[in-house]
Amino acid sequence: MTSGRKNHVDASAAIHYTINSNDRAAHLYDVTVTVDAPDPEGQIFSLPVWIPGSYMVREFARNIVQIEASANGKSVALTKLDKCTWQATPCTGGLRLSYQVYAWDLSVRAAHLDQNHGFFNGTSVFLRVHGQEASAHSVEIQRPDGCAHWRVATALPSLEAKRHSFGRYIAADYDELVDHPVEMGEFELVSFKAHGVAHDFVVTGRVPNVDLARIALDLQKICEAQIAFFEPRTKQAPMSHYVFMTMVVGDGYGGLEHRASTALICNRSDLPTKNDTSLSDGYRAFLALCSHEYFHTWNVKRIKPAAFVHYDFSQENYTSLLWLFEGFTSYYDDLFLRRCGLVDEPSYLKVIAKTMMAVQRGSGRKKQSVADSSFDAWTKYYRQDENAPNAIVSYYAKGSLVALALDLLIRSETEGKKSLDDVMRALWEKFGRDFYQKDKILTKKGLGEEELQALVLEWTGVNITRFLAQYVKGTKDIPVAKMLAEFGVKLVSENASKKPSLGVKLVNQAGDCKLAHVYEGGAAHKAGLSAGDVLVAINGLRVNATDAAEGLKKLLAPYSVGDKLELHAFRRDELLNLTLKLRLDEDAQITLECDQDSHGTLAHKRPSL
């Protein structure tokens, strides 16, 4: 019996997997893959080294703890070709590989298994059968022993399984197989429909008295708004079933997009309870995360950069367009909360101001463009170190400001007749809508590295060549405040009342006040302090590590910019005695607000504030 969805692939799959989670205490998945017609020259298998949406080589094959092959009841020799690839000795008949995968990564990127639940991304557990990636792939998700009450949450098309049940599922090809994560366990579940499409919200982990009904109602507003955004006439979604998989923990935040689902992780306190109807900062951020990952259903999962049309799972896949695919998504995630009425105007402007401050804080923005940040994501953004604020810029944060500025520019140049919304729909029409069928991606064409400016000119009449040269390929600061002023949004910026600063970010590490970052040009940098140093005392008074930032603020309160202080710190096990000259806190505190008295010609045409 199927889940009610019409399968879009032939049930006679050529590649068959089983996955079992009986040894939960050891965190081991037992996986098999059977190939009906193996390569007569010796079938090659490999496990991806990365997962789309998370641009870092993670070497998932390191978690395979044992592997063996057989055919016709006889053992078949395997030769390891490199870090993630095996080749079987030539054989006839069905070739079967059996292997175990260690799953103890509690994140959205890999696989996790314990006595309470199981979660996996296909890139972590399903070996790729070289040469047969385009064939149909089936997988039997087996119920583990002693787990009669466990259920399954996945957007994989069902073959013989009822929705939320163990059994057989099917995918049109390998790319689809690994683009549907799976959650298993005694999770909480609420379902809703958005323009007729079934959506599940799944919660794994303990959240006492969680208000699932409120979450479903809020998500329904977001999902319906985004579906209608891309398809205002038909309101047709590109999938027939969508799943939000949420793991709650004591401290965590993140999400990873997939073609018909998303894996999320959040703080337990972020989710609303039935006795609290307020909109906490944590819940607002969680809704923005859900909005972000859902927007990716179109922007990056179906509208793709050309480099992602055919994934190469064996190595990095480079593009300089992540500022568009992640940055634009970061712009629209909060904008949709405002358009849905889930946040008010002051709250939305506060989010924009926070993004402006985050971008302005790091001097890396003057050294790296968002285009370069996108290209170097594999080695820089996803491998940040203590010097990151001084060396790189976030294609998420600055990318969202690029999107805001482009939106304002297009509205200004066209007197409000066009906007960035028109650009996104154009991208959908040219690179998304015509290249998929319901539940199946047939993308043959992706956005080229230099195609955006021609598309914007064609669809809006606005030439953005200079804009891209300055703010995307260049490192010039975007004049967001000036552009917002034209639309009746004024900026209030003050330099923390001329307060002095060390120019550092502090963390409490095992009771020590440690310097996580030393900002370039700040007092600490000029005095010779480095990231990793442990701050001990200032002018003979101990620095309190319990609330490091607040404690430092109190210690500096009696002093002014230009004052010299005696500072003691440890570098490794050596005590440093330094003289430090206080410098101005250059962290601008930005407030945005709509000018009610504005007479700007475009004030009434601002982006849905």
Structure tokens at 469: 């040269």
pLDDT at residue 321 in the model? 98
The CATH number of residue 512's host domain is 2.30.42.10
* Pair (377, 468) in one structural domain: yes
Tell how far CA 51 is from the center of its chain. Answer: 11
Across 537-548, average pLDDT: 86
3-state helix, strand and coil shares in percent for the chain, rounded to the nearest 5? 30, 30, 40
* Pair (385, 461) in one structural domain: yes
pLDDT at residue 605 in the model? 59
For residue 598, pLDDT over 70 is answered with no
Is residue 391 classed as helix, strand or coil in its secondary structure? Answer: helix
pLDDT at residue 441 in the model? 58
For residue 411, pLDDT over 70 is answered with yes
* Pair (164, 279) in one structural domain: no
For residue 607, pLDDT over 60 is answered with yes
For residue 317, pLDDT over 60 is answered with yes
Determine what percent of the chain is predicted with pLDDT higher than 90: 84
Question: What's the mean pLDDT when you consider all of the chain?
Answer: 92
Distances in whole angstroms, Cα of residue 499 to Cα of each of 159, 432, 554, 582: 65, 51, 12, 9
**Apex 260 CA angle, 259 and 262, nearest 5:** 90
Structure tokens at 606: 């601002």
Of residues 12 and 411, more confidently modeled: 411
pLDDT at residue 444 in the model? 66
pLDDT at residue 609 in the model? 58
pLDDT at residue 209 in the model? 93
Residue 212 located in a structural domain: yes
* Pair (402, 291) in one structural domain: no
Contact 137, 180 (CB under 8 A): no
- Tens of pLDDT, residue by residue over 54-78, are 999 999 999 999 999 999 989 999 9
Round to whole Å and give the CA distance between 42 and 298: 39
Contact 272, 209 (CB under 8 A): no
* Pair (27, 157) in one structural domain: yes
Distances in whole angstroms, Cα of residue 523 to Cα of each of 89, 235, 291, 508, 559: 64, 55, 40, 20, 14
pLDDT at residue 602 in the model? 47
Boundaries of domain holding 234:
187-297
Q: Would you give the DSSP letter of residue 303?
A: B
* Pair (3, 132) in one structural domain: yes
Q: Which residues pair with 557 in a beta bridge?
A: none
Residue 142 located in a structural domain: yes
Contact 314, 84 (CB under 8 A): yes
pLDDT at residue 108 in the model? 97
The CATH number of residue 259's host domain is 1.10.390.10
pLDDT at residue 8 in the model? 45
pLDDT at residue 1 in the model? 31
- Tens of pLDDT, residue by residue over 218-244, are 999 999 999 999 999 999 999 999 999
Across 449-457, average pLDDT: 97
Residue 467 located in a structural domain: yes
Among 198, 241, 194, 197, CA closest to 218: 194
pLDDT at residue 4 in the model? 37
* Pair (231, 288) in one structural domain: yes
Q: 358 φ, ψ to 5°?
A: -60, -40
For residue 9, pLDDT over 60 is answered with no
- Tens of pLDDT, residue by residue over 326-353, are 999 999 999 999 999 999 999 999 999 9
* Pair (171, 204) in one structural domain: no
For residue 599, pLDDT over 80 is answered with no
Q: Please report which confidence band the pLDDT of residue 510 belongs to, taking 50, 70 and 90 as the band edges.
A: confident
| Greatest mean pLDDT among 87-101, 489-503, 583-597 | 87-101
Place of tokens 């038909």: 234
Residue 451 located in a structural domain: yes
Q: Please report which confidence band the pLDDT of residue 354 belongs to, taking 50, 70 and 90 as the band edges.
A: very high
289: left (phi over 0), alpha (psi -120 to 50) or beta: alpha
pLDDT at residue 176 in the model? 95
Number of domains composing the chain: 4
| Residues composing the chain | 609
* Pair (368, 389) in one structural domain: yes
Give start and end residues of each alpha helix (H) in 235-385. Answer: 281-295, 322-325, 327-339, 345-361, 370-375
User: Of 118, 147, 177, which marks where a domain is finished?
Assistant: 177
* Pair (252, 388) in one structural domain: no
Residue 418 located in a structural domain: yes
Least confident of 150-159, 243-252, 344-353, 553-562: 553-562
For residue 131, pLDDT over 80 is answered with yes
The CATH number of residue 88's host domain is 2.60.40.3650
For residue 302, pLDDT over 70 is answered with yes
Residue 138 located in a structural domain: yes
Residue 594 located in a structural domain: no
Residue 513 located in a structural domain: yes
Round to whole Å and give the CA distance between 561 and 459: 52
* Pair (157, 203) in one structural domain: no
pLDDT at residue 15 in the model? 96
Across 257-267, average pLDDT: 97
Q: Would you give the DSSP letter of residue 230?
A: H
* Pair (196, 231) in one structural domain: yes
